[in-house]
Amino acid sequence: MVIIEPCGRLRVILSQMVMDMVGTANPSNKKEYEHMMNVIIPNLEIRALELAGKCEALGECEREKCDTDLIKKFFEKASNALEKKYSKYKESTGK
């Protein structure tokens, strides 16, 4: 088992996890896609904000990583990307 400090976990969420999930999301699986949009991404945002607070408390924030406004904008961008991807899928399939 690997234990990563809060700053490391936050870094992984913001630099790898979310955009990889957005990039590999399959809009043809409507149930899974909606779960990602309505549950997974919002829960990751909550977790990222919690981790930002913990990281900041440790005094280890790099650049603006712990800026809650930037984190919220990041997740808004991810949600918008998912919605756009789903809209394009609907247009191409006529569903």
pTM: 0.87
Give the CA dihedral 95, 30, 50, 2, nearest 10 degrees.
-140
Task: Give pLDDT, residue 2.
Answer: 59
Between 20 and 62, whose confidence is greater?
20
Task: Give pLDDT, residue 3.
Answer: 61
Task: Give pLDDT, residue 74.
Answer: 95
Task: Give pLDDT, residue 95.
Answer: 63
pLDDT tens-digit readout, 36-70? 999 999 999 999 999 999 999 988 887 788 999 99
CA angle 25, 79, 81 (to 5 degrees): 65
| CA–CA separation, 32 and 36 (whole Å) | 6
| CA–CA separation, 28 and 93 (whole Å) | 9
